[in-house]
Amino acid sequence: MTELHELSLKETVDGLQSKKFSSVEVTDAYIKQIENNRDLNAYVLETFDQARESAKAADKNIAAGNARPLEGVPLGIKDLYCTKGVRTTACSNILRNFVPPYESTITQNLWNAGALMLGKLNMDEFAMGGTNTTSCFGPVKNPWDKTRIPGGSSGGSAAATAMDMACATLGSETGDSIRTPASMCGVVGMKPSYGRCSRYGMISYSSSLDQGGPITKTVADAAIMLKYMAGYDHKDSVCADLPVPDYEASLKKDVKGMRVGYIREFNELGGVHEDVYKGYRDCLNAFKAEGADVVEVSIPHVIFAGQIYAVLANCEAASNLARYDGVRYGLRVDGDGSLDDMYLETRGKGFGWQIKRRLVIGSYMLSAEQYDTYFKQAQRIRRLLFNEFAEAYNQVDVIMAPITPDAPCTIEQVLNGADVVSRQGCLIDLLTMPMAMAGVPGIAVPAGSVDGMPFGIQLCAKRFDEETVFHAGYALEQMLKGDK
């Protein structure tokens, strides 16, 4: 018999609406699962009392026939989203006691749809990192092997979803922070198009890249989540004023005639495990067997995506994190009493080493002497990459690629600075950053395993074509399950 915490979001919604079980029962099942798996360090704040009260209210709405689409569904929220009256830290000491007086648009949209919050989830500090080891609350452990990383920065979200510690979770992505942890934890991660969801109330890292998205148990669950997360918001200047499609309607198994592309520059990359490449080729062949056309495309500037990201993200981080100065909110360390020393002491004690490193690099690249050499040049190459993706999507409907090249590194390797961590990180950047730079939607679907650890395959479509992403992702999910 399937336990309540093992149900998918869709199954949970259907069961609640048909009154097979109550929201209180579902919420208590997830709370018990969280309590039994605290050693994963996925949650940095538990809001169980609030969750139980929300569940009671949801059950009343259902009984009265006033149920909203996600009424009574328990979610976990990455600690990057401001939640009114609930501590939000971005897992940084500089915001350790920050309690926002406002709600992020994405979370408010979910609460308006009837969902409730189980707690705030661990992440890399300010979402900077791919290992979830830079959090001021300590590393998150991978549920499949607790000695290994879960990926980052949304490692807490992916680990919680994989271990059934929430019906679904919120993650965010700047470069690969949804797709990589989803791949390493064997769950589904959806990166929407840049501008599809509002960034209002998301603690900023890199403003031209940050985007919120769901991490779920199934592709159908991701479609449901995104439907209620997305939408125009005048409080975000880059949020697209476009209608939100019915993503569930795009979940089709038939891929006959679909044009599935693979990137020439990704062929036989050194360092990618043979099992990952086999899984990748098997997925391409599965589409071909179902009537899809498999097409090679060339995107020459993908090889520079990691370098472009390193420049633009660090520069934008240096600008965005300048607001944490000890004056208005967050940590304040007075030092010797002078203003300059207060700045130095506050930022020195508030930020972790990874943040300091990126701020120094970003500030240097933004300097008057280096601006044209780094930031401006990176913007030009990004435009070339954007144009190459646009040209590729004239030839194909979706592009398929691996996400992670091997089994995840161990936490010990990361903390000790082992060379394998840098090599794996560079390959992940090469495979994932191009899609982030182009602002296109992509979904990570579990596709196989290496040394007992899961890995995923990503499917990406042109900007604002999430429907095709869900169509292809759902079809692949069914193929891999053997349900054609």
3-state SS, 62-117, equals: HHCCCCCCCCCCEEEEECCECECCECCCCCCHHHCCCCCCCCCHHHHHHHHCCCEE
Q: What is the b/e burial string over 277-310, where b = at least 16 CB atoms within 10 angstroms of the residue's CB?
A: bebbeebbebbeebebbeeebebebbebbbebbb
Q: Which of 153, 193, 198, 204 is catalytic?
A: 153
Q: Which of 23, 92, 154, 177 is catalytic?
A: 177
* Separation between Cα atoms, residue 109 and residue 11, nearest integer Å: 21
Q: What's phi and psi for 210, nearest 5 deg?
A: -55, 135
Helix residue spans in 321-352 (DSSP H): 339-350
The separation between the first and the last C-alpha atoms of the chain, rounded to the nearest angstrom, is: 25
Kindly tell me the sign of the dihedral angle through the C-alpha atoms of 270, 276, 282, 284: negative
Describe the chain by its helix, strand, coil percentages, rounded to 5: 45, 15, 40
Q: What's phi and psi for 21, nearest 5 deg?
A: -155, 170
Would residue 78 show up in a list of annotated catalytic residues for this protein? yes
Query: Six-digit token pair at 115?
Result: 């969902």
Would residue 250 show up in a list of annotated catalytic residues for this protein? no
Would residue 237 show up in a list of annotated catalytic residues for this protein? no
Q: Are 105 and 200 in contact (CB under 8 A)?
A: yes
Q: Which of 78, 120, 141, 462 is catalytic?
A: 78
CA atoms within 13 A on the CB side of 230: 26
* Separation between Cα atoms, residue 168 and residue 151, nearest integer Å: 17
Which residues are part of the catalytic machinery?
78, 153, 177
